[in-house]
């Protein structure tokens, strides 16, 4: 068995497999398991083999780019609209750490602008960095920071804003910011566009460049938001696995549906607002018919000069309805002092609270626990575990029983994440919970979501 190379070296290795001998070129990573070798290939994918499978290897010259270096940002065209890029991190702002081969969120905003000179043909861009983190680390107080940064951009004369954000919780942040700018009958002064990428910029299959180009294009030239179609904050990502077409989604009606695909973001119970095609001649934007109709019928909303904010100290517990949900779980979490309980119900929004055969006492205990929550004026919100389709507690007797108990959520046609963000926002504004949750404040329950 040959001695294995240290992590961080670029090598060419001959490796035995079950059927043949293969040759790999790439960067040696810390091993995925003891007595293994892991290599990041030049196409961005990783491979691992047992140490005894390595026949031979040779070290190659590293392709690590030099540290530092001058940026070559193109000159601005003063005739173009101003767009501010707000940088939070995520895969769209990630690159390989050549010491370990791991992908880390560490691009600076200036590097992103320098790397894509075509952006200078769309808008006059400036960048503000408020973080360099993966999106699973983002908390409600970060929403307040982003909302304030957007308001500052509009106050500075920007036509639109693009927020570069990790994809894992991008749809949660987009929901939260929609309520911050449009929940009280207002709208954002211009388009706020959230964008990410499923694959980092070091990979040949990266979607970062096209997503960012389309996002800046929508921020610079897209229609001003109407506010009640979920369009104050949009999400721009690949429409399909192929290059060239990006979907513009309502930030209140989109969800990450796949962990790795470039078209991971899909509309829930509806369609995108528009599609942006990148062609050799520029951009071709098509509004979907429902959005065109919504724009024609929209009333005039005033501009939100200052976004509403979220109370970061509020806590919410989430549960999934099914055979593993028990009363003691609810009660244990409620005793920690949460401000709300969200349960992802089955089917049309049902919970295991009946014991028709007298052989499931756990169900009766769960009914009692939830009744106690309601009696304590602790909101219990039912969202849809199915993702697509409404929560309709009028169809079955079970649902009618839940309504009589005081459980909330009947009529919800929005995503679970949008409704959870809405509950947090409603409580932060000291609004009437039942009335606010059942009302269509800014497009979370629009009629097209039922189609």
Active-site residue list: 91, 167-168, 256
Tokens matching residue 179 = 């309520």
Alpha-carbon distance 384 to 398, whole Å? 15
Quote the DSSP letter at residue 202: T
Cα 143 to the chain's mean position, in Å?
13
Label the pairing between strands 160-164 and 82-87: parallel
Assess contact for 38 and 48: CB atoms under 8 A.
Answer: yes
Phi/psi at 148 (5° precision): -65, -40
- Using an 8 Å Cβ cutoff, are 44 and 205 in contact? yes
Cβ neighbours of residue 19 under 8 Å, at least 6 residues apart? none
In 3-state terms, what secondary structure has residue 267?
strand
Residue with the two structure tokens 């926002």:
425
Q: Sheet harboring 380-384: ordered strands across?
A: 316-320, 340-345, 380-384
Q: Which residues contact 145 (CB under 8 A, 6 or more apart)?
A: 130, 131
Tokens for 224, please give them: 């001003």
Name the DSSP class of 292: H
Residue 10 CA from chain centroid, whole number: 34
DSSP annotation of 120: G
Beta strands in 293-444 (DSSP E): 316-320, 340-345, 380-384
Neighbour-count burial of 66, counting CB atoms closer than 10 A to its CB (0-12 exposed, 13-18 middle, 19+ buried): exposed
Place of tokens 């089955």: 346
CA distance 325 to 348: 17
Residues contacting residue 183 through CB under 8 Å, at least 6 positions apart: 308, 422, 425, 429, 441, 442
């Amino acid at each position: 068995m040959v001695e294995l190379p240290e992590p961080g070296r670029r090598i060419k290795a001959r490796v035995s497999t079950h059927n043949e001998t293969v040759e790999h070129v790439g960067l040696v990573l810390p091993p995925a398991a003891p007595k293994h070798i892991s290599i990041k290939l030049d196409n961005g994918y990783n491979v691992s083999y047992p140490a005894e499978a390595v026949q031979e290897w040779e070290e190659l010259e590293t392709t690590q780019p030099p540290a530092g270096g001058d940026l070559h940002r193109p000159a601005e065209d003063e005739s173009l609209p101003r767009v501010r890029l707000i940088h939070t991190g995520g895969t769209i702002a990630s690159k390989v750490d050549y010491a370990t081969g791991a992908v880390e969120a560490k691009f600076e905003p200036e590097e992103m602008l320098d790397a894509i000179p075509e952006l200078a043909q769309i808008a006059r861009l400036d960048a503000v960095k408020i973080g360099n983190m993966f999106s699973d680390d983002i908390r409600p107080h970060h929403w307040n920071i982003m909302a304030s940064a957007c308001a500052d951009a509009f106050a500075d004369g920007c036509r639109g804003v693009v927020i570069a954000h990790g994809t894992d919780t991008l749809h949660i942040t987009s929901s939260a910011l929609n309520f911050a700018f449009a929940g009280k009958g207002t709208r954002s002064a211009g388009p706020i566009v959230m964008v990410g990428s499923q694959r980092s910029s070091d990979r040949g299959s990266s979607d970062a460049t096209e997503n960012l180009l389309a996002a800046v294009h929508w921020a610079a030239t897209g229609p001003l938001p109407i506010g009640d179609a979920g369009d104050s904050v949009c999400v721009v990502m690949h429409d399909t696995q192929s290059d060239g077409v990006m979907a513009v989604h309502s930030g209140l009606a989109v969800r990450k549906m796949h962990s790795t695909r470039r078209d991971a973001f899909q509309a829930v119970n509806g369609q995108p607002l528009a599609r942006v095609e990148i062609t050799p001649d520029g951009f071709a934007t098509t509004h979907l018919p429902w959005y065109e109709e919504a724009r024609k019928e929209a009333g005039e909303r005033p501009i939100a000069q200052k976004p509403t904010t979220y109370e970061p100290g509020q806590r919410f517990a989430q549960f999934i309805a099914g055979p593993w949900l028990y009363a003691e779980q609810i009660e244990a979490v409620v005793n920690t002092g949460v401000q709300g309980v969200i349960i992802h119900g089955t089917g049309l929004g049902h919970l295991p609270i009946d014991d028709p055969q007298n052989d499931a006492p756990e169900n009766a205990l769960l009914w009692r626990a939830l009744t106690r929550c309601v009696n304590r004026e602790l909101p219990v919100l039912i969202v849809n575990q199915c993702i697509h389709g409404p929560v309709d507690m009028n169809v079955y007797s079970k649902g009618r029983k839940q309504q009589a108990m005081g459980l909330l959520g009947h009529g919800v046609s929005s995503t679970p994440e949008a409704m959870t963000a809405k509950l947090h926002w409603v409580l932060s504004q000291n609004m009437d919970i039942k009335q606010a949750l059942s009302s269509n404040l800014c497009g979370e329950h629009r009629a097209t979501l039922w189609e």
